[in-house]
Amino acid sequence: MKFCPRFSAGACTVGETTTTTTTTDPGEGLASQHKLKLKPPSYDGDDPTFEDWHHKFKACMGVQRNFYSLVLPSAVQSTTRLTEAELRGAAATTQEQEEWVHLDHQLKYVLIMPTTAAAATLCRQYQHEIGLEIYRQLLLRFKTPLGTRSIGYLTKLPEATFDTNNFEESFSNWEYEIRQ
């Protein structure tokens, strides 16, 4: 499947406009680009925690920039190695190309910084790739296949154990697992 962040957005524009101002403080311009200062969640390559990390990571990046909420699902659907040329080809204008490449470089370093253990090793193996390819490789390696996850849930649900000291939270977690 070819990478295309506009697969369901139609005429939606991905790039966000930012105003550039001349300042003497180099950090001031950077600070004005982000809406919120959120630290991305850390991940160590532990398979059971992947789904929770993935959900939080997508939310964190989507809040930072609309670009990520549109391109991360496209990266997941891609069946081939993602390249900068494909990213540039999906952009409509030269300005959008430069912005997307810049945001992809940010994604690369945002993925590298909070990862540890096996996830960090995978990021190092793909350090010369674009950020979206590193993200795709993390998903390919650590995401539990649906069939395996379903079997795991089916064996765990009948043996539900509830914490008597914190019953509401453990019951809520059990309900969430049933919905999965």
State what percent of residues in the chain have pLDDT above 70.
71
Per-residue pLDDT, 48: 80
Per-residue pLDDT, 3: 59
Please report where in the chains the tokens 């680009």 appear, as a residue: 33
Per-residue pLDDT, 2: 54
Domain segments of the chain as ranges: 42-144, 145-180
Per-residue pLDDT, 46: 87
Write out pLDDT tens, residues 56-113: 999 999 998 999 999 999 998 999 999 999 999 999 999 999 999 999 999 999 999 9
Write out pLDDT tens, residues 41-67: 999 988 888 988 999 999 999 998 999
| Band of residue 115 on the pLDDT scale cut at 50, 70, 90 | very high
Beta carbons of 38 and 112 less than 8 angstroms apart: no
pTM of this prediction exceeds 0.75 = no
- Residues 104-109: contacts with CB within 8 Å, 24+ apart? 104/130, 104/131, 104/132, 105/130, 105/131, 106/131, 107/61, 107/68, 107/131, 107/132, 107/134, 107/135, 108/134
Write out pLDDT tens, residues 17-48: 333 334 444 444 444 454 557 788 999 988 88
Please report where in the chains the tokens 């809520």 appear, as a residue: 172
Per-residue pLDDT, 172: 82
